[in-house]
Structure 1
Amino acid sequence: MKTLSYFLMVATFASVTFSSCKKDSTPAPTPTPAEVATSMKLTSNGTALSFNQCQQFTVSANGLVQTEFIAKNFTNGKLSDDEFEVDIIHDPATLKAGQTYPAASSYAQKETADITYYPNDTDIFTTQIGNPQATVTITEVTATTISGTFSGKLFAWDDTAGNTVVYTITNGSFTAKIDK
């Protein structure tokens, strides 16, 4: 899944990067989805983190349609090793501003959210059903983007009981390009 998201984010960024820009007196056209500014920002254990690319993907697993927001940094033609994901088990076609999703307390629980952080290519930290502590709120839905806020507690991938908090996430926000 991460490889697919990296590819799509690289393709999106490359199309924006390699398109030419010319200054003239005509008004700027409405941006296409590939030109929409996206980002994710958050505070992790008191340290500000930001990602300069954020994409929304529609995922179907075990008959459940999910909305996934994947954020990475793209710098000097390369994607970073770190990644942040916000996953909502809700169909993106019906997302509306004001909807709030708590952390899941069981696997494949509808109308819930999961938050996952990959600080590098090997480590995974996520919300856990044994100690569900997270909230995701959709703040705006437009024709090209979905925005929201989030916070939560992340645990090691194998700490399913949620015994040891590794990351406390606060002030999370994102604006993601809608997957069309």
Structure 2
Amino acid sequence: MTLLRKLFISIISITLLISCSKKEDSALNTDSDYFMSFKANGTEIIYKDILTAQYTDLPNQNLYGLTIAGANFDGPNTDEDFGIILMDDAPITEGSYNQDYIPNTYSSRAFISYIKGVQAYSSVYPLLSDVAKANVTITEITNTYISGTFSGTLVKSDGDYSVITHEITNGKFKIKLQ
């Protein structure tokens, strides 16, 4: 299985896990200091309940990753979640990540996905779209939490990769590490 396919399957799995989370799950935020917020096409979205940040390192493949996610669930077909996946050939540290490829791989350093109801939007991979973008800056990593900023240009994940559907701006997060 190619690395790109493994990464895509991981993204889908994480998205499904978050989408199906209940309030009693371990990702439930009980500390008001933790959040994820951003604007999608100018509309402010804030996640404070279902949040997770986990390292997803694959040292045997010389890849190190971090998955950051937030979600809301307001009933059938109204759920939404947002995910950020960072990958690098060295452990993830404070700094900036974008869609540049990691040398000798088909993996981008940053990938953003946004799911609203049953429709998925993402920054896809540069091979598929020259308009989709992802920019993530990690500003602080402690033993307890990770914080940073993000922005992106998203396209419909199962559609025309040249049509921009969402501009993500003013993204910020401070999320407890799992």
Same fold (TM over 0.5): yes
Pairing 1:32-43 to 2, within 5 Å after superposition: 35=31, 37-43=33-39
Q: Deviations over 1:22-81 (max 9, x none)?
A: xxxxxxxxxxxxx57321100111111111132112335793332110101368xxxx71
Partner of 1:26: none
Q: Structure 1 pair 55/157, CA: closer, same or farther in 2 (3 Å)?
A: same
- Mapped to 2, the partners of 1:82 and 1:102 lie a distance apart of 23
The Cα of 1:167 is off from its aligned counterpart by 0.1
Q: Structure 1 pair 9/142, CA: closer, same or farther in 2 (3 Å)?
A: farther
Q: Structure 1 pair 115/133, CA: closer, same or farther in 2 (3 Å)?
A: same
The Cα of 1:105 is off from its aligned counterpart by 5.5
Partner of 1:154: 154
Would the aligned equivalents of 2:29 and 2:51 in 1 still touch at CA under 8 Å?
no
Partner of residue 86 from structure 1, selected from 79, 84, 87: 84
- The alignment's C-alpha RMSD in Å is 3.2
Structure 1 position 48 matched with structure 2 position 24: no
Would the aligned equivalents of 1:95 and 1:141 in 2 still touch at CA under 8 Å?
no
- Mapped to 1, the partners of 2:36 and 2:149 lie a distance apart of 9
Tell me the percent identity. 26
Partner of 1:133: 133
Unaligned regions of 5+ residues in structure 1, if any?
17-34
Would the aligned equivalents of 1:36 and 1:177 in 2 still touch at CA under 8 Å?
no
Partner of 2:107: 109
- Mapped to 2, the partners of 1:51 and 1:15 lie a distance apart of 10
Q: Give the paired residue count.
A: 154
TM-score by length of 2: 0.71
Partner of 1:142: 142
Give the 4+ runs in structure 1 shifted more than 6 A.
none
Partner of 1:27: none
Q: Structure 1 pair 4/60, CA: closer, same or farther in 2 (3 Å)?
A: farther
Would the aligned equivalents of 2:145 and 2:175 in 1 still touch at CA under 8 Å?
yes
Q: Which has the larger radius of gyration?
A: 1
Unaligned regions of 5+ residues in structure 2, if any?
1-12
Would the aligned equivalents of 2:83 and 2:112 in 1 still touch at CA under 8 Å?
yes
Would the aligned equivalents of 2:27 and 2:51 in 1 still touch at CA under 8 Å?
no
Tell me the secondary structure at the aligned position of residue 12 of structure 1. coil
